[in-house]
Chain A
Amino acid sequence: MSEDQILLKVEFGGGLELLFSNEKKHALTLPARVPADNSTSPAPSEKETKPLDIAYLIHWLRDHRLKERAELFMENDTVRPGILVLINDTDWELEGEGGYEIKDRDEIVFISTLHGG
């Protein structure tokens, strides 16, 4: 694995996959350093950068994998309330939420709870 790329797995559950072409599992390779403002279009090199984190991943998924209805996935720069995030099987609330720095071969799961009773 080259040092400036990070390999990660993303999985969607609870019906969230329906927004992502009904694909539950996605294997991604993302740069280890990313624009600090979470912009995911090819960036001019002088932009301020940060290590790849969950906040960036959320924006990247919205811009490059989401097929429909972004408002069902994101709200106010993060995932919509009712979507849980697991980082290597652990609640992201224990891992620093959006600020968690993604390591090589991490597994990130997004689960929707909005399917009711």
Chain B
Amino acid sequence: MSTSCGNPTVEKDALMPRRRKFDRTKTCIKCKDNQGNVTIRHAVYCKECFFPMLNQKFKRSLEPTINPIPDGPRKKNLYPPGNLLIAFSGGLGSTVLLDLVHKGYVASRKPREDADAAVRKKDPKNEMVWKEVHVCYVEVCGAFPAMRDRTEDVRRVVESYDGFKFVPLRVEDSFDTKWWESVGGKPDKGELRVDITNEDLILLPSSNATSPLSALHTYLSSLPAPTAIPTTLQTLTRLLLLHTARATSSSHFLFGTCLTSLSVSLVSLVAQGGGFNIKEEVQEDWGGEGGRQAVRIVRPLKDIVMKECAMYAWWRGLEVVGQEVWPDARQGIGGITKDFIVGLEKDYPSTVSTITRTCAKLAPKETPAGICTLCNRPAQGHVQDWKTRISIRSLSPSLASPQQPSLAPYLCYMCHTTLTSKSSKKPSSGSSSAGGEEGNEVPLPLWVGARVRRMEREEMRDKVKEFLLDKEEEEEGYAEPI
């Protein structure tokens, strides 16, 4: 019996003519002994060899990201600087992820001790890698009428494992000051609203408090197109999770995105003008500003296809409680892309990995100008332009909107598009009324206001500094921002 792992001959296939689903024989390519039970991208595995193969792919993606500084060739002990958060949707990928994490890093391990590194080196295999593991689920049923609340199904799955702490959230928590305070936010200044009839997205102070759920409904119904709803819910969910990661002192945050769904999200990201963030869709570090512990977002199933997840879940007897298919999602860009990728994977099983590899090469060389206040991802542009935009739009008087700060300059291209285009819904009222009537005022997720205020303060500080340094220029009535 051979243990050589041997890179299965999956990479260099000729693409278009349909190949047989497996090469040469039906014998397992690992043990070269058993009859195969499954073909994965033209490679045949028996059931026994399938599990170690999958586990190896999982660990190979995850472990190099665990230590703050990547290891060289020599493997060191795993020593993450914080806890672990797992995003759980109830879908196939995150169900498999939960099981792999539990088997690999939680089950039959002792609690992690706070010994110093010298002591830890002795026998780290017996200790949990992360001190605490939280599993967070964001229920989106509040966004759709008559959608079933799955929180209790999900709780049952999560609590069937020992060692996981369950954190249930709801998507409307994005507008809930109680949640915001629970993750360390300060809602003291009140929430912000935005007037969506104007492309500048004029900011207004919040007037009367509404319930988080009705704030969510107002927000979603203000979106210009129904196809913007899935994107928006994804962003809200992602930010709820990220703030939860910070609040649980997690240094690592895992998504159960497999190769197939990663390809779907990369392609739909590009289709929606989010190409600038293609790198972040695979792996990103979030929230490290101001000396805080950054949260590293990792997708350890990124080399595993949907079929492998399905086989793993089936053979391990895992309960997949499922994920609701959102209304409009199948017609949206995401749904169409998904049908395309899944079809491609069936007929040309090795093509899908080419998509993610190609996308990875498309990562922009430009340094990001700033962080989008809504999705918190790097925003495109030059730092100078970004700052100019912000200072001109938000602080300087302009003819169109006297003294009114606007949200537009604080948004990345994709978020701005999601909120504004194509406003055919309200064609005439938009341009003329700068103020915004009651009905056009839309509440913003709480992190947006917090970031806008912080950036305004920083901008103000810069202004003051400039004023002190460049008095002459200021006296001419024109100040060039930095």
Contact = CB atoms under 8 A, between A and B. Distances in A.
Interface in B180-236: none
B131 to A, nearest CB: 26
Nearest to B262: A117
Interface residues on A, range: 20 to 34
B342 A82 contact: yes
Contact of B92 (A14, A81, A89): A14
B422 to A, nearest CB: 28
Given A84-B310, A115-B92, A94 B346 contact: no
B447 interface: no
Contacts of A15: 320, 322
A99 B15 CA distance: 24
Contact of A89 (B37, B93, B320): B37
A39 interface: no
Interface string A6-43: 00000001110000000000000000000000000000
Contacts of B44: 94
A86 B257 CA distance: 24
A116 interface: yes
Interface residues on B, range: 35 or more
Given A94-B44, A117-B92, A14 B314 contact: yes
B262 to A, nearest CB: 9
A113 B38 contact: no
Contact of B93 (A90, A91, A117): A117
B93 A93 contact: no
Given A84-B311, A117-B93, A91 B38 contact: yes
Contacts of B261: 116-117
A5 B213 CA distance: 58
A15 B301 CA distance: 21
Given A89-B47, A91-B37, A117-B256, A14 B310 contact: yes
B279 interface: no
A102 interface: no
Contact of B320 (A14, A81, A109): A14
Interface of B: 21-22, 26, 35-39, 44, 47, 89, 91-94, 255-258, 260-261, 301, 306-307, 309-311, 313-314, 320, 322-323, 339, 342-343, 345-347
Interface of A: 13-15, 81-82, 84, 86, 89-91, 93-94, 97, 109, 111-117
23 contacts: A14-B314, A15-B320, A81-B339, A81-B342, A81-B346, A82-B306, A82-B346, A84-B311, A89-B37, A91-B36, A91-B38, A93-B21, A94-B22, A94-B26, A111-B310, A112-B310, A113-B92, A113-B309, A113-B310, A115-B320, A116-B92, A116-B261, A117-B256
